[in-house]
A and B are shown apart, each in its own frame.
Chain A
């Protein structure tokens, strides 16, 4: 019952926030220099005034700003995100076509980084003064500090060009005509490099965060009590320390999960993964306003959804939060 009321009130707030984001984004985009019709004309290599006029009229850019805003907002209210200027396809179609690829990539990276990060962090915390613990932390620092695109390119050079173990780019083998399980396996092979590269950075953060908050929790009195009771060290680490150290990790996971739609631009570009991040970057370059606004909308919606989920997970992990609210 408490959950239901919480969710309803959160959803209500979410709709208001989303509405404000739409308006804000709309004006933000208008402030960027450049005009989509001129960019399309430029790409064509030849243009005349008539061509620019046709495009401007077709995009509705000849209307006053408040009319454009009204058209857009009333469209979105009915889930009509308009047409992409450049591709002349409904924005919703484009986004939905790209969404699965992105979610597969970012979702895999999310799970990978969270699981491996927590495991590595716990190990490092348990081996705090041993060389093996220091090694984990050193690696985490390297992954944290290295630029993502560089790691990606080096991974391609090593595993695709030099060793020839994994495909360098794309989501599946073009022209192979695979189906069913063979296709899934093929996609899986293509997924390994980009997902791992993307996961490394967050994995490093989880490792550091887990270790730090576990060490902090280990100083608490209840841990001394547990030791005094004669509990096994592994049990203390898992049940008492890790569980108490989880809250900051959940916060971070919520943030990472919120970025799943638009957070993989670099990885998608280097690995030619056909996802939303690339679509967004191209739309920005092209000043493809409708498409850009549509992607912003989905990104914002996802952030809000994961905020709500994070709040719920807090309550599961730490019942004290429920008591307080």
Chain B
């Protein structure tokens, strides 16, 4: 069942593509950033608010459509050798940094080989497969891989593989560099001013290399810590765009009904946040596969989507989300089936032992969701106690494996080898972090399949391996698969062309224009 809001969004998609207008230049756009980012140097900092603001200052070699197809950005073309190991990127020759220096292949080599290898864990996950990076001339870069690496071409998004200026960072202590307060990129907008706690202002890059772009004169990112106040700022017209995550879910239906208001669910395909329920595979009832299956049958995930998330998002079939490549559609789904859950619990001889559930401390919707799941589980006779913590406490409890069930969500980054395998590989079990194989799942065959699939070439071979691994996971249920979250961007309808890429507003203001 889809709710009216979801239908309205679907209708808006078809309508918006039906006509194209002549863009108008000029105007400053006001939007919101929540929470305030810790800094704006992408690559040094990878958290969501930094990506959202600085994705308009910095660029990557490639950009991705909402179908995650690679598009030229700083690289105008690229090719791969027949064995899948050598990738050659041809750079644009007319690009300059915001301080006027030319952008060259040396910057690419420095960014990838030095800057990201030292600072950036998400880039490191890719770079560990890269043997050598060379600039063969001023505008050509060659990456040589040890083995083919499936997700290689999806990794050049600005937030993951940011191009940073060599002439500013080389030979300095990166984190202490004075320039961090005044980021220099190649993007359509330049950093102007950051009044901490109030606003971050970007202005148009007059020397931008793409003709006519950007149309906007600037972007003001307002910093408003309270959710209700952010909604008011949109209602009274101070801001025009609410990027995802800036208003509470229960405000969304009300705001989308306002005049001149459009909403899109597009623009999060690259991250494709996937909500999961960690289940501790090591001890207690959750160590039994039948218990974990029972939890999957007991949960009414459609209800959670329709009521708590306003019908936005998608109930996943299994471990691979719908935006992930190589999803296996033939899996047996876990429908809401309390009777089946009770049977499984009887079969394993569950004695009513208490299990502890940790909600995600990210606001009201998550708290309510935990209550809904608790109720679902009680219905089939599972004895659940909710233990609320703040973010720090939640991190520590998960890092110490001190939980039975816990909510979380993870980005999928467009490829199973980047965003999915990390949750199931036994080599990724390590105490102290809540972002690895926290559930403690160990299966040699799964390890083998994921490892082979990451470096198999070409894609058909990867597909067969990933399909097999999904069947095993579907049976073992190492974690609960809750929902592929739908993150809506709300904006005034006269803001045109706002979401054009798989990372949405993170790099979308480049193409946006105001019809005023």
> A32–B197 Cα gap in the complex (Å)?
26
In the complex, the answer to whether A49 meets B195 with C-beta atoms within 8 Å is no
Q: Closest chain A residue to B237 by CB distance?
A: A164
In the complex, the answer to whether A270 meets B196 with C-beta atoms within 8 Å is no
> A160–B237 Cα gap in the complex (Å)?
11
In the complex, the answer to whether A94 meets B196 with C-beta atoms within 8 Å is yes
In the complex, the answer to whether B121 meets A164 with C-beta atoms within 8 Å is no
Stretch at the interface among B58-66, B223-231, B334-342: B223-231
* A44 close to chain B: CB less than 8 A: yes
> A272–B231 Cα gap in the complex (Å)?
13
> A55–B9 Cα gap in the complex (Å)?
42
Stretch at the interface among A110-118, A119-127, A167-175, A238-246: A167-175
- Complex interface: chain A residues within 8 A of B71 (CB): none
- Complex interface: chain A residues within 8 A of B393 (CB): 33-34
Chain A proximity of B321: nearest CB distance (Å)? 15
- Complex interface: chain A residues within 8 A of B198 (CB): 170-172, 174, 272, 274
Stretch at the interface among B291-299, B346-354, B384-392: B384-392
Q: C-beta contact mask, B18-51 vs A, less than 8 Å → 1, else 0?
A: 0000000000101000011011000001111000
Given contacts A50-B124, A174-B220, contact A278 B392 (CB under 8 A): no
In the complex, the answer to whether B223 meets A168 with C-beta atoms within 8 Å is no
Chain A proximity of B413: nearest CB distance (Å)? 8
In the complex, the answer to whether B222 meets A269 with C-beta atoms within 8 Å is no
Q: C-beta contact mask, A276-320 vs B, less than 8 Å → 1, else 0?
A: 001100100111000000000000000000000000000000000
In the complex, the answer to whether A38 meets B433 with C-beta atoms within 8 Å is yes
In the complex, the answer to whether A43 meets B229 with C-beta atoms within 8 Å is no
Instruction: Point out the residue from B47, B48, B199, B229 that lies within 8 Å of A174, measured CB to CB.
Output: B199
* B399 close to chain A: CB less than 8 A: yes
* B430 close to chain A: CB less than 8 A: yes
Instruction: Point out the residue from B122, B236, B394, B410 that lies within 8 Å of A168, measured CB to CB.
Output: B236
Q: C-beta contact mask, A126-168 vs B, less than 8 Å → 1, else 0?
A: 0000000000000000000000000001001100110010001
- Complex interface: chain A residues within 8 A of B30 (CB): 174-175
- Complex interface: chain A residues within 8 A of B180 (CB): 88
Chain B proximity of A42: nearest CB distance (Å)? 6
* A47 close to chain B: CB less than 8 A: yes
Chain B proximity of A40: nearest CB distance (Å)? 8
In the complex, the answer to whether B48 meets A43 with C-beta atoms within 8 Å is yes
* A70 close to chain B: CB less than 8 A: no
* B175 close to chain A: CB less than 8 A: yes
* A103 close to chain B: CB less than 8 A: no
Instruction: Point out the residue from B36, B45, B390, B410 that lies within 8 Å of A44, measured CB to CB.
Output: B45
Chain B proximity of A98: nearest CB distance (Å)? 7
Chain B proximity of A293: nearest CB distance (Å)? 15
In the complex, the answer to whether A52 meets B433 with C-beta atoms within 8 Å is yes
Chain B proximity of A194: nearest CB distance (Å)? 11
Q: Closest chain A residue to B229 by CB distance?
A: A169
In the complex, the answer to whether A285 meets B391 with C-beta atoms within 8 Å is yes
In the complex, the answer to whether B395 meets A38 with C-beta atoms within 8 Å is yes
- Complex interface: chain B residues within 8 A of A217 (CB): none
> A33–B119 Cα gap in the complex (Å)?
26
Given contacts A45-B411, A46-B46, A274-B195, contact A285 B392 (CB under 8 A): yes
Tell me the chain B residues, 174-229 only, with Cβ under 8 Å from chain A. Answer: 175, 180, 195-199, 201, 220, 222-226, 228-229
In the complex, the answer to whether B232 meets A161 with C-beta atoms within 8 Å is yes
Tell me the chain B residues, 390-426 only, with Cβ under 8 Å from chain A. Answer: 390-397, 399, 410-411
> A172–B229 Cα gap in the complex (Å)?
15
In the complex, the answer to whether B229 meets A161 with C-beta atoms within 8 Å is no
Chain A proximity of B436: nearest CB distance (Å)? 8
> A51–B228 Cα gap in the complex (Å)?
35
- Complex interface: chain B residues within 8 A of A88 (CB): 38-39, 175, 180
* A80 close to chain B: CB less than 8 A: no
> A212–B230 Cα gap in the complex (Å)?
42
> A40–B37 Cα gap in the complex (Å)?
11
Q: Closest chain A residue to B45 by CB distance?
A: A44
- Complex interface: chain A residues within 8 A of B197 (CB): 98, 101, 272, 274-275, 278-279
> A285–B390 Cα gap in the complex (Å)?
7
Q: Closest chain B residue to A271 by CB distance?
A: B229
In the complex, the answer to whether A175 meets B229 with C-beta atoms within 8 Å is no
> A291–B48 Cα gap in the complex (Å)?
22
* A35 close to chain B: CB less than 8 A: yes
27 CB-based A-B contacts, threshold 8 Å: A32-B392, A33-B392, A38-B432, A38-B434, A40-B47, A41-B433, A41-B435, A42-B391, A42-B435, A44-B122, A45-B47, A48-B124, A51-B121, A52-B433, A54-B119, A88-B39, A88-B180, A98-B196, A168-B233, A168-B236, A170-B198, A174-B199, A175-B30, A270-B226, A272-B225, A274-B195, A274-B197
List A residues at the B interface (Cβ < 8 Å).
Answer: 32-35, 38-52, 54, 58, 86-88, 94, 97-98, 101, 153, 156-157, 160-161, 164, 168-172, 174-175, 268-272, 274-275, 278-279, 282, 285-287
